[in-house]
A and B are shown apart, each in its own frame.
Chain A
Amino acid sequence: MLDLKNVSVKYGNFTAIKDINIRVDKGEIVVLLGANGAGKSTTFRTISGLKTPFKGNVLLEDDLIDNKPPDKIVKQGIVQCAEDRKLFPEMSVQENMMMGAYIHRKKKNKIKQTLKEVYKLFPVLYEKRKNPAGSLSGGQQQMLAIGRALMSKPKLMLLDEPSIGLAPLIVEQMFESIKQINKEGTTILLAEQNAHAALSIADKGYVYENGNIVVEGSSKELFANEEVRKAYIGA
Chain B
Amino acid sequence: MDVLLQQLFNGLTIGSVYSLVALGLTLVYGILHIPNFAHGALYMVGAYITYTIMTSLGLHYLLSILTSIIAVGMISVLMERLVFHPLKDSTPIQHKVAAIGMLLFLESFAQLIWGADYQQMETPFGQVIDFFGLTVTMQRLIIVITAVVAMILLYLFLKKTFTGATIIAMAQNREGAHLVGINTNKVAMLTFFISGVLAALGASLTSPINLVFPSMGHLVILKAFVIIIIGGMGSIPGAILGGYIIGFSESIGATYISSDYSDIISFALLVIILTIKPQGIFSKGGV
Contact = CB atoms under 8 A, between A and B. Distances in A.
Please tell me whether chains A and B touch each other in their complex, using a CB distance cut-off of 8 A.
yes
Interface of A: 48-50, 69-71, 74-75, 79-82, 85-91, 95, 98-100, 102-103, 105, 148-149, 151-152
A166 B178 CA distance: 25
28 contacts: A48-B178, A48-B179, A49-B178, A50-B175, A50-B179, A69-B185, A70-B184, A71-B178, A71-B182, A71-B183, A74-B179, A75-B181, A81-B179, A86-B173, A86-B176, A87-B176, A88-B169, A88-B173, A88-B176, A89-B172, A90-B172, A99-B165, A99-B166, A102-B182, A148-B180, A149-B179, A152-B180, A152-B181
Shortest beta-carbon contacts, A-B, top 9: A74-B181, A86-B176, A70-B178, A88-B172, A105-B162, A71-B183, A103-B181, A71-B181, A102-B180
B136 to A, nearest CB: 38
Nearest to B181: A74
A105 B183 CA distance: 14
Contacts of A74: 179-181
B183 A69 contact: yes
A180 to B, nearest CB: 22
Nearest to A95: B165
Contacts, number: 73
Contacts of B177: 88, 99
Nearest to A98: B165
Nearest to A89: B172
Contacts of B77: none
A102 B179 contact: no
Given A50-B175, A86-B176, A89-B173, A102 B181 contact: yes
B173 A87 contact: yes
Nearest to B187: A71
B168 interface: yes
Contacts of A88: 168-169, 172-173, 176-177
A70 B185 CA distance: 11
Centre residue among A91, A98, A102, A103 by max chain B CB count within 10 A: A102
Contact of A91 (B162, B168, B175, B183): B168
B179 A70 contact: yes
Contact of B172 (A49, A71, A91, A103): A91
A79 B178 CA distance: 10
A208 B134 CA distance: 77
Contacts of B162: 98, 102, 105
A48 B178 CA distance: 9
Nearest to B186: A71
A28 to B, nearest CB: 22
Contacts of A89: 172-173
A81 B180 CA distance: 9
Interface in B147-167: 162, 165-166
Contacts of B179: 48, 50, 70, 74, 79-82, 86, 149
Given A82-B175, A102-B162, A105-B162, A70 B181 contact: yes
Contacts of B169: 88, 91, 99
Contacts of A75: 181
A87 B178 CA distance: 11
Centre residue among B166, B169, B182 by max chain A CB count within 10 A: B169
Given A82-B176, A151-B180, 9 more contacts: A71-B178, A74-B181, A79-B181, A86-B179, A89-B173, A90-B168, A98-B165, A103-B180, A103-B181
B168 to A, nearest CB: 7
A150 B179 CA distance: 12
Contacts of A79: 179-181
Contacts of B168: 88, 90-91
